[in-house]
Structure 1
Amino acid sequence: MKLKPKHLVLFLILTALVVFPLLKTHSPAGIPVMSPIGLVELKTTFPKAPERMPVYRVVGGEIIETISNSSPEYWKVRKNLPSEEEAVEIALKALERYGGVPEDAVLRGVRAEYVSYMDSSAGEVGREPTLVVVSFKREINGFPVVGPGGEITVFIGENGTVVDLVKIWRKLEYTKDVRIISPQKAYELLQNGDVLRKPMGKLDLEVVKIEPGYYAGGIGERQDYYYPVWIFHCRDGFGKNITLAVSALAEVVGG
């Protein structure tokens, strides 16, 4: 059926009313938005935000501790691995020679790592244990720290042998409080792809939790200050947890 001119105009107007809202750069909860980092959808509510948060200066440089091992063989199949309780005790003992566990460190969790293989004769996919990993995360006055420099990781193998240990910890000193942006504004920045550490490739992300905190860079990343960030806890299309951070500064802060 051929539309008359006046009907065609009405059709175009109605189409615009339906389509244009879907093309908005920013969206409320429940409406996915395509961003430079992938498809982003808000699946949680915005938390109550503090008006100001502290800034901390790094003093004395960064502390990086690691066991010197050129080939830890993370994917080697290992037997007789410790239980979760035993692994925590082994990790605490191993950290004693590196100054122990800092006061602002919190046990993040214990997990077993596995290596997968294909049994060509049986046509089945199997997996074998390789390591038990104990990790500690950092909290600064109750605020979580994310990023590669905000944790301690101990890799434990057969018979309680510590295969590797990575500790990146910076001593901090309070400097001042600064104003921060709202979580709504931070979500807009996330949709624009303005994150501190961009993921590899584009992802389908569901934001399941938002909270204020701090970001810590990894080995080789110079960091003189810890500034507030908004932390977005996400799940990707495969159910994997992804954490992204957006600067929370509402004002220009001098070094």
Structure 2
Amino acid sequence: MGVSGSLGVGRLTDAVADDGLGLLVGGLSETLVYGPGGERRGEGCRVFVSSYAPRPRMLVFGAIDFAAATARVGSFLGYRVTVCDARPVFATATRFPDADEVVTDWPHRYLAAEVAGGRVDGRTVVCVLTHDPKFDVPVLELALGLGVAYVGAMGSRRTHEDRLARLVEAGVREDELARLHSPIGLDLGARTPEETAVSIAAEIVSARWGGSGHALTETDGRIHHDA
């Protein structure tokens, strides 16, 4: 996704391009306001960004406490969030008020139906938080072959090794396994569900824009990455 043309001031053009690209990828339309030199200060030049794409989707499998926090931060990032779990006692709208929908179904069956219906695309992110091989292996086997933006799975190092062995046994290719973010999230030292959700969100953003995950004080060059 490139930039064509100019607004006459380099810093203003760069600011609009950076912000506009984020809105377009997120399927959002918004009026942006800048100062004459591209300052994001809410006065001066007004630019309307119109996006015709639907919001990207976040599919969260596993109706656990970490899923509630992940749904909350996913909604904050602009995703249309679905929480899915095969256990009706856990998959309730009351437990996940920030989700756009809560579905009771086996994860792999629900994902297959969404794919068949054309409701999964290259911007979709998949977070598998089930901690149970009978749920997470089938859905990961399917998700890793779809070409979605991100596939992450929660679990300890031991759980990860066991999961990899099961996926290999199921016939998942090495290049597909390389796309799996597991254990899920960036190394922030997170402990609570909310902190863990932030680490997951940070990894998703990094994967979207090609970020390194390092502190900006440790990097050089432009802060904003191209798509």
Q: Which has the higher strand share?
A: 1
Q: Which has the higher helix share?
A: 2
Larger RCO, structure (CA 8 Å, separation 6 or more): 1
Higher radius of gyration, 1 or 2: 1
